[in-house]
Structure 1
């Protein structure tokens, strides 16, 4: 059996250029967590110290943020979808999300002002389930499309949250385009964790939603980290968490490593193509 090999592209940080972190400040993170904590299902997920593995690797400490407990959905993605939907509703009502905790969002007052909304998204699983969960909790509607090859189990999990959901015969990008067209045609709200020209506000809200996890980790860490490892995906989580810690630590920010599997190494391929 061929041994697994790691490939990397190194980007040296230019400490003379200040990172643009105004959307990912500690103050904003606390606002986001305040919103999430208004849901009765909220509780901080554990930061687990892997002492034996750290000793094996010859390092002092190793910590892992265990998101399998998040809102009972076994994934962090619900943080982004829920905050984006909450922020959208606040914007529609002309209010600050600080004044719209869960109990007010589901109140007769807000429902009479807002009416019934349909939120639509493309997903390969966890993001769509988070959107469906949030819409269900807020007594709104959700429609979820999944690309060809998506797991039937994930489809069932999304439907269990009350969403209309199906697997298409298209790849992910084409399914996103299809979802966007349906949203424009029917006046639905697309809640997508990828951005494109003219569609950036909701993806930013999704990224900000992930800061609840980053803030929890920051408060749980007994020491300042020297290295942070983040999964890539479409880049929303990586950008959010890196932005938060860059704002917290400034020029002394820990080294960040973005990790992705060989079969979905879009960020690596992009970095490698522009290396040098």
Structure 2
């Protein structure tokens, strides 16, 4: 199997990210918000001692995000904070002091509906937030999305008085993103798009989602220090739509 190309940016060694010094960003507030969510627990940091020995380093660790707030992915960290912050913006509530219950009551009072596009995990995370907040969600998926994935998303509305609609869209992921944006604007009242990728005219909520992932990175830092007496010297992360990579880079290059 051929290896993918590797791109290196030596100039990044001296670059520092200013995003985490923004006056409206409080990482401790984000962590406190996540702890207020039902069934919150830190995810495990798993040592890979054999690989560390093979590489000749003191430690290699994997952050196990296979179970986070009852879902099989880290996405709920971004979707939850992004949704909460977006609702606070819409109803003009102060995010620093507003509780989850207060945000839910305000969202219900203005008949807010959440919209999102997904290939799976992000959409289910948005649907889970709709369940927690007691408001509807409409999740748009590409036509190739499997039936089990669609059922998992729709299951977030089962057993509660919340409508979670999963809509298949002809085309690919980008088509689903466009459909979610369009239908949110034509809904009555207009809906709230919670999307983890930015596009023209839509940048603030993806930024909130990126900030939400900082809880995972803070956990890594704290777990390494408290349990192993170590500090990270390298972070390796997968890149999908880009929000996780953005979060890792911003966190690592801001301290």
Are residue 204 (structure 1) and residue 207 (structure 2) matched? Answer: yes
Q: Please, which moves more after superposition, 87-96 or 11-20?
A: 11-20
**1:77-92 maps to which residues of 2 (within 5 A)?**
77-92=75-90
The corresponding residue for 1:21 is 19
Instruction: Please give the alpha-carbon distance, in whole angstroms, between the structure 1 residues aligned to 2:184 and 2:107.
Output: 21
Gaps of at least 5 residues in structure 2 are 158-163
Q: What corresponds to 1:126 in structure 2?
A: 121
Gapped runs of 5+ residues in structure 1? Answer: 249-276
In 2, distance between residues paired with 1:64 and 1:17? Answer: 26
CA distance in 1, matches of 2:84, 2:119: 22
| Larger mean Cα displacement after TM superposition, 96-105 or 59-68 | 96-105
State whether residues 21 and 246 of structure 1, in contact with CA within 8 Å, keep that contact through their aligned partners in structure 2.
Answer: no
SS at match of 2:26: helix
Residue by residue over 1:146-193, the C-alpha shift from the partner in whole angstroms, topping out at 9 and shown as x without a partner, is 112112211110000011003222111122112111111111111111
Q: Deviations over 1:80-120 (max 9, x none)?
A: 1111111112122322223223233345xx367x4321011
Q: TM-score, normalised by structure 2?
A: 0.88
Residue 137 of structure 1 is matched in structure 2 by 132
Partner of 2:69 in structure 1? 71
Aligned residue for 1:197, secondary structure, equals coil
* Aligned-partner Cα distance in 2 for 1:15–1:54: 24
Matches for 1:35-114 after TM superposition, within 5 Å = 35-107=33-105, 110=106, 114=109
Count of aligned pairs: 242
Matching residue within 225, 229, 232 for 1:225: 232
> What is the TM-score when the length of structure 1 is the normalising length?
0.81
Contact 1:145 / 1:179 at 8 angstroms: preserved in 2?
A: yes
